[in-house]
């Protein structure tokens, strides 16, 4: 177990600007093959796959809140996987693939049961030689919670796991997003979440009060009205407490990287786990900058995400 306070511009062997002369690049284009899986409870999820390479390692990437395989970080990491000769897959949480899911439920930050089902089916169906998993933001929290719950048995499925900008303490993250400038992020997420919730209500009338959902001012109110009751939690406080990965970090027994920028508006630096909170299998890496799933490099905005995939694969390749 270790904790590192590095700059996003650090790389083993030199500076990014030296290794990649042009770091201000457009987002890479990635071609996927879509696969639909029926879930055990009668719903479905969609997974987007890179072209399969027999015998190559596989990276399964779980996206963040309202993300998808087309999110900037997903495209950057899948492009990096492809250039390294890896296989890659982005499973979509329910309702995030462009089509509303069927059941009166959606997805949430602590849905480790869904993570478990996806990883086990990937292993059973595709039998990769080496399986690695990463999660971004919400997906990273759910993945590390899964790894903690599984303990030693996680090693039978994955070689290593990594989280990027995960809100490991959901209460601290939720309250941070309800304050000051961060309310801009909240409004952005609520715009999408409220729209989907009203579509879900049309599909399953009576789930919740549509007027109250439209009036939700922050994620605390939204989770109280929608996320918590749809997924078996008493209220927002119960959901945030039980779904947070932080209490599970000490139980992780598979190599794990938790990468969080100290200036991430989604999780205050003082809420980040310390070495006393995690097992010896967990590497805590807290760059000074990087924001929320940013870690861009380059002299001009918007920069490039080449550092993030490099760091991720560097960690995985050290855990073959």
162 in Cβ contact with 256 (< 8 Å)? yes
Burial of 213 (0-12, 13-18, 19+ CB in 10 A): buried
Contacts with 21 (C-beta within 8 Å, 6 or more apart), sequence order: none
- Which entry of 264, 281, 304, 310 is annotated as an active-site residue? 264
Q: For the chain, what's the residue count? A: 320
Q: Is 264 a catalytic residue?
A: yes
- Which entry of 63, 79, 108, 292 is annotated as an active-site residue? 292
Q: Under DSSP, is residue 24 helix (H, G, I), strand (E, B) or coil?
A: coil
Q: How far apart are CA 170 and CA 290, in angstroms?
A: 20
62 in Cβ contact with 109 (< 8 Å)? no
Q: Is 137 a catalytic residue?
A: yes
- Which entry of 71, 97, 109, 137 is annotated as an active-site residue? 137
Q: CA triplet 212, 103, 161: central angle to 5 degrees? A: 95
Q: Which residue has the tokens 């970090």?
A: 249
Contacts with 70 (C-beta within 8 Å, 6 or more apart), sequence order: none
Q: How far apart are CA 107 and CA 114, in angstroms?
A: 9
Which residues carry out catalysis?
Answer: 137, 264, 292
């Amino acid at each position: 177990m270790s904790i590192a306070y590095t700059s996003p511009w650090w790389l083993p062997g030199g500076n990014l600007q030296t290794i990649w002369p042009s770091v201000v690049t457009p987002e890479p284009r990635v071609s996927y093959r879509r696969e639909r899986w029926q879930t055990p409870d009668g719903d479905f999820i969609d997974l987007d796959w890179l072209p399969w390479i027999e015998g190559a390692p596989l990276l399964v990437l779980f996206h963040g809140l309202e993300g998808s395989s087309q999110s900037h970080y997903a495209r950057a990491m899948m492009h990096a996987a492809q250039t390294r000769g890896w296989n890659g897959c982005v499973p979509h949480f329910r309702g995030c693939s462009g089509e509303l899911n069927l059941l009166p439920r959606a997805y949430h930050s602590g849905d480790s049961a869904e993570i478990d089902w996806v990883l086990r089916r990937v292993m059973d169906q595709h039998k990769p030689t080496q399986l690695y998993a990463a999660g971004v933001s919400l997906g990273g929290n759910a993945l590390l919670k899964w790894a903690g719950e599984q303990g030693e048995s996680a090693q039978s499925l994955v070689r290593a796991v990594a989280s990027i900008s995960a809100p490991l303490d959901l209460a601290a993250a939720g309250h941070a997003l309800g304050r000051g400038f961060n309310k801009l992020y909240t409004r952005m997420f609520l715009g999408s979440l409220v729209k989907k919730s009203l579509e879900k209500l049309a599909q399953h009338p009576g789930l919740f009060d549509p007027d109250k959902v439209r009036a939700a001012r922050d994620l605390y109110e939204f989770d109280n009205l929608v996320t918590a009751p749809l997924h078996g939690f008493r209220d927002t406080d119960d959901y945030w407490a039980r779904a947070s990965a932080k209490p599970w970090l000490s139980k992780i027994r598979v190599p794990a990287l938790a990468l969080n920028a100290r200036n991430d508006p989604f999780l205050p630096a003082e809420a980040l786990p310390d070495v006393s909170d995690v097992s010896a299998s967990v590497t805590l890496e807290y760059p000074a900058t990087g924001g929320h799933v940013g870690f861009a490099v380059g002299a001009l905005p918007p920069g490039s995400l080449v550092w993030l995939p490099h760091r991720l694969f560097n960690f995985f390749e050290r855990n073959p």
